Homo-oligomer: A and B are copies of this chain.
C-alpha cells in the first residue's frame, strides 16, 4: 500500500541508498537527483516507515506523558492538562515526534507504569507532571539515565533535568499581601493533602508573607485535602471551626475552591460577602463562578510548548549543533482581580 524507499528507487532507477540520502538532506548527492527524488516522493505520496526508521536509528520518535488522574473518588480529570498537552504536542509534532499518554489509576504513583515505559523503550523520553517534593519517579529516571522533563519542581534528582514550574511561592505571598492590604489578618490556606510540591511552595510563600506582615502562623488555619471538589468540601469546615475563624481563605486550585464554597454556602457564609476567597490556579470556572473568583492565571499552552523545547534541547540526539543543555524555568503567575476578595 504505502510506498517505500524501494518503490522510489525503482521508479527513478537509482539505488535506495541514494534515495535515502537525498531524502535526509545529506551533502553527497547531486542537486539534480535530489530534486528528482523529492518530486517522486511527493508524486508517489511517500512517507517514511517509522518502524523501519526507529529500528535502524534505535529511537522510537515518541515522547510519553505520564498523565496523573486525581486521587480520591474522582471520576473527572484535571482540565489543567489539556491546554498544556496541546502546546506540548504541537511543538513535538514539529520535530516529527509523537506524544503518547500513559495514564495511571487514581492514587497510583505511576512507578510501575513508568518502569514499563522505560524498560520496553516505548518512548525516547518522558514528561512528568504533578511533581512531588521527594519524587521516586525522578530518582528512578535519573538513576536509569532515561531522558525526561518535568512540569513542576522537586527536591529529587538535583538540577540534572529540565523543569518548568509556576511560581507558586510568589503567588502564595501575593495572595496574602493582597488580603492583608484589604484588612484581613486571619487568613486560611487550603492545599492538597499529598506531598505535591506546589502545595509546599504555596505554603512557604504564605508563611513568609505572614511573617513579613507580623502575623503569627496559626496551624488551625491550614488544612490539607484531596485536590478536588470533594477535598475542598471536606476540609473547609475544619478551618472555619477555629476558635478565631478566618476572614479569608486561599485555595490551591479551583476545584477545591468550588467544594469549599459549597461547604461555606451550606452554613450560610457567602464568599465575596462574608469571607474573602482567592484561588491560586485560575480557570474559566473562577471567572464564571458567582462571585467571580480572584485567581492567578498560568499560560498553559505556551508552557507546553516551552517544556517541549526544553526537553528536546536536553537530549543530545535532538539538540541542534550547539549541543545539549539543561534549562530550568519558573514562570510567573499573573493575578486576575475579580469579585471574591
Contact of A170 with B by CB under 8 A: no
Interface string of A175-212 (1 = CB under 8 A from B): 00000000000000000000000000000000000000
**Contact between B262 and A288, CB atoms less than 8 A apart:** yes
* Chain B residues within an 8 Å CB radius of A287: 229
* Chain B residues within an 8 Å CB radius of A81: 77, 82
Q: Which residue of B lies closest to A299 (CB)?
A: B75
**Contact between B77 and A83, CB atoms less than 8 A apart:** yes
The answer for the CA separation of A78 and B284 in the assembled complex, in Å, is: 11
Q: Which residue of B lies closest to A54 (CB)?
A: B51
Q: Please pick, from B83, B98, B119, B258, the residue contacting A100 in the complex, using a CB distance under 8 A.
A: B98
**Contact between A283 and B76, CB atoms less than 8 A apart:** yes
Interface string of A271-294 (1 = CB under 8 A from B): 000000000000111011110100
Contact of A332 with B by CB under 8 A: no
Q: Please pick, from B2, B52, B62, B83, the residue contacting A75 in the complex, using a CB distance under 8 A.
A: B83
Q: List 20 A-B contacts (CB under 8 A).
A: A2-B121, A48-B120, A49-B55, A49-B121, A51-B51, A51-B52, A54-B54, A62-B100, A77-B86, A78-B79, A78-B82, A79-B79, A86-B103, A90-B105, A98-B122, A99-B101, A255-B284, A258-B284, A262-B288, A285-B285
Q: Which residues of A contact B (CB under 8 A)?
A: 2, 45, 47-52, 54-55, 60, 62, 67, 69, 74-83, 85-86, 89-90, 98-103, 105, 119-122, 228-230, 232-233, 255, 258-259, 261-262, 265, 283-285, 287-290, 292, 300-301
